[in-house]
Amino acid sequence: MNDSDHKRWSEDLAAYVLGALEADEAAALERHMDGCERCREEMRWLQPAVQTLPESVARQEPPKQLRQSLMAEVRADARAEGRSPSTSRWRSLWAARGMRVATGFAVVALVAAAVVGYEVGDGGSGESSGSTVVSRQPGGITVKMVSEGDGGKLHLSGVDPLPSDKVLEAWVEREGKVEAVPALFVPDRNGQAETTIADMTGVKTVMVTKEPSGGSETPTGEPIVTMSVPQ
């Protein structure tokens, strides 16, 4: 890559770290950064400036009732968890919101995509070897699931860089319902990303979506990974 090419992309980096690029522009820059160490280096240099901006605001004393109502909600949640330890908190959250997963639009879309993913994998691009399942996904991502006791480790390679306000979130589908895996993850500079799924019992499909920082309670986008789990 020549200097003028680099300079053209480099001009977008400040807007990118400020979250001020349009989605298509951010995606194009991320694709470029995948192969441009200079841009990645410049981005890493600029990011701390943005991360310190919240520290610049004048301090306001939060109202006391904010802490009280927040902790009341948190303790009620914790008590509810304690009453039904075998029930996934995600399942109960969705149930509480009337979002029975099997009928929710986003989840139907996810499950439908999972079937497509399985067919792709079944077309000669997937392989299974005992406790390890490997699946090559559309988009150049390779997924490896390694069983570990009741759970498993999900390893992705070939993942494009994410903007700073996005993370990867894994979801599992079992008994017709989709649950979030409570650990967000991001790809490293080599496009490798890894997360652990603590309980794989009864899981039929594993999916990964890009979600806003902090994760989502329900999937907000199309999965970048869908992998059927051999039963």
Partner 1 sequence: MAVRREKAERLADEELMPLVGRKDPEAFEVLYDRHGGAAYSLAYRIVGDRAAAEEVTQEAFISVWRSGARFDSTRGSVRSWLLSVVRNRAIDFLRSRAGKAPKLDFDDDAVLEQRQASELTEDEALRRETAAEVRGALAELPGEQSKVIELAYFGGFSHSEIARILGLPMGTVKGRMRLGLEKIRGQLAEGLA
Binder to partner 1 among 7, 53, 129, 201 (CB under 8 A)?
53
Sheet of 142-148, strand order: 126-129, 132-136, 142-148, 151-157, 193-197
Which residues are within 8 A (CB) of 208 and not within 5 positions of it... i.e. 6 or more apart? 154, 156, 168, 169, 170, 171, 223, 224, 225
Return the beta strands (E) in 21-165 as ranges.
Answer: 126-129, 132-136, 142-148, 151-157
Task: Tell me whether residue 3 or residue 11 sits nearer to partner 1 (CB atom).
Answer: 11
Binder to partner 1 among 33, 110, 156, 180 (CB under 8 A)?
180
116 binds partner 1 (CB under 8 A): no
52 binds partner 1 (CB under 8 A): yes
Task: Tell me whether residue 65 or residue 201 sits nearer to partner 1 (CB atom).
Answer: 65
Task: Tell me whether residue 117 or residue 163 sits nearer to partner 1 (CB atom).
Answer: 163
Considering the complex, what minimum distance in angstroms separates the CB of residue 43 from partner 1?
11
The SS3 of residue 2 is coil
28 binds partner 1 (CB under 8 A): no
Nearest CA to 188 out of 162, 166, 209 is that of 162
Sole window of 54-62, 97-105, 148-156, 202-210 interacting with partner 1 (rule: CB under 8 A): 54-62
Give the separation between CA 77 and CA 74, rounded to whole angstroms: 5
> What are 130's two structure tokens?
């005992």
106 binds partner 1 (CB under 8 A): no
β-partners of residue 48 are none
Residues that bind partner 1 (CB under 8 A): 11-15, 17-22, 45-63, 65-67, 69-71, 73-75, 77-78, 81, 89, 93, 164-165, 167, 169, 180, 182-186, 188, 212-215, 217
